[in-house]
Structure 1
Amino acid sequence: MSVLTVETPLGPSRLTVHPAAEPRAVLVLGHGAGGGIGAFDLVALAVELPRRGIAVVLHEQPWRVAGKRIAVRPPMLDEGWRPALDVVLALFPGLSLWVGGRSAGARVACRCFDERQAGVVCLAFPLHPPGKPEASRIAELAGVAGPVLVVQGERDPFGSPDDVRTAAEQAGGAQPQIVAVPGVHSFNRGAVPRVVAAVAGFLT
């Protein structure tokens, strides 16, 4: 494991690289607005995927590196994310680059998706604020011009798996692969094997 600092317009962000012995792909994951890269599902993926030939890079936003407790606005999150992708592409030339994250990190990956990336892994995509289904963010998910995996808690107040599926169908276009796991927005710890299996299967 190695830790790299990446300069961004908002100050330094940080990459924690979990290499694979013979990598065939790399997955960059961002954290949510209320936590960091210590979220247990992110940690589990960083441990398990390299054993399956997928290097994992965990990205910490500049606001988090600076020790702040409240996330910045979405456009600023995007500014903190894009330079990190350039660094990862340079670190792993020739490998398929997959991106994603937990909650707000998933939204960032969707908004910033471009032709250099193979697809997006969304862990607990926050379809809407709790209790406000009219404030849908499905356009971010539907705007990805590539394959998308959504791993969603069965009782997620930000949108259940069925909510995400219905919204995606109504939005039209390519449909995401949706995997339901036990829990709410943070998942249950017992769901970790299903999360790892879903992501590993999606990337192969």
Structure 2
Amino acid sequence: MRIVTPRGPALVEVDEVAEPRMLLVLTHGSAGGVDAPDLLAVRDAALGIGATVAKVTQPFRLAGARAPGSAVRQDEAWGVVLEQLRARWPGVPLVQGGRSNGARVACRTAKAVGASAVVALAFPLHPPGKPERSRADELRGAGVDVLVVNGDRDPFGVPDPADAARLVVLPGEGHDLKKDPARVGEVVAEWLSRQV
């Protein structure tokens, strides 16, 4: 389904379950798409615990851009998408998340869209080689419980455990979390099953 936002259309692909215990909305990073191995593994694992899963391709990606542009504009478009998804599944608890830049969007907008928790895959703590430009405030400012799943070889850094409800660091994984995506899905499903 296409959802029109002030920043252009977003594309939403939904995998539904009959009686969802939650709506899990996931999005991609700056350069990738919603078919990244870790996002697909999370989708599959979440379906297994009774979640309806929506994968959102954001307007900047549909427009062919590799960079998301300003956070304000990206978050504005995200809010419109989430408003329409919440209207389609009223009363169903919302959890949102994404990988890399998508994790940042999910953290920044969690309270505004009424999410009960955030799944942050490969949260990019800082640009590679620039730890002084920390984005930890986005994690701390989410206002809801955040699960962070990062690889120990991620050049974007690994957040501090104190900045999230739960931090899982997977050995041997880089920023793409594609060495063992099924493990990423297991970690997320286990955590989600205790959240809602």
What is the TM-score with the length of structure 1 in the denominator? 0.88
- Assess, with a 3 A threshold, how the Cα gap between structure 1 residues 69 and 146 changes in structure 2: closer, same or farther: closer
Residues 21 and 50, structure 1, Cα contact 8 Å, conserved in 2:
no
- The aligned residue for residue 105 of structure 2 is 108
1:125 aligns with 2:93: no
Counterpart among 144, 167, 185 of residue 175 in structure 2:
185
Counterparts of 1:3-18 in structure 2 under 5 Å? 4-18=1-15
Alpha-carbon distance in 1 for matches of 2:161, 2:15: 35
- The aligned residue for residue 78 of structure 1 is 75
Amino acid at match of 1:15: V
- Assess, with a 3 A threshold, how the Cα gap between structure 1 residues 132 and 166 changes in structure 2: closer, same or farther: farther
- The aligned residue for residue 34 of structure 2 is 37
Corresponding residue SS for 1:189: coil
Residues 40 and 189, structure 1, Cα contact 8 Å, conserved in 2:
no
Greater mean deviation of Cα atoms: 132-141 or 177-186: 177-186
Residues 102 and 122, structure 1, Cα contact 8 Å, conserved in 2:
yes
Amino acid at match of 2:119: V
Counterparts of 1:28-67 in structure 2 under 5 Å? 28-67=25-64
Larger RCO (CA within 8 A; separation ≥ 6) = 2
Deviation per CA, 1:48-68: give whole Å up to 9, x if none: 321220111111111111233
Alpha-carbon distance in 2 for matches of 1:202, 1:186: 20
Amino acid at match of 1:193: A
- The structural deviation recorded for 1:167 is 6.9
Residues 20 and 51, structure 1, Cα contact 8 Å, conserved in 2:
no
Count of paired positions: 191
Question: Gaps spanning 5+ residues in structure 2: where?
Answer: none
Deviation per CA, 1:81-113: give whole Å up to 9, x if none: 111111111111111100111000000111111
Residues 5 and 15, structure 1, Cα contact 8 Å, conserved in 2:
yes
Residues 29 and 100, structure 1, Cα contact 8 Å, conserved in 2:
yes
RMSD over aligned CA atoms reads 1.5
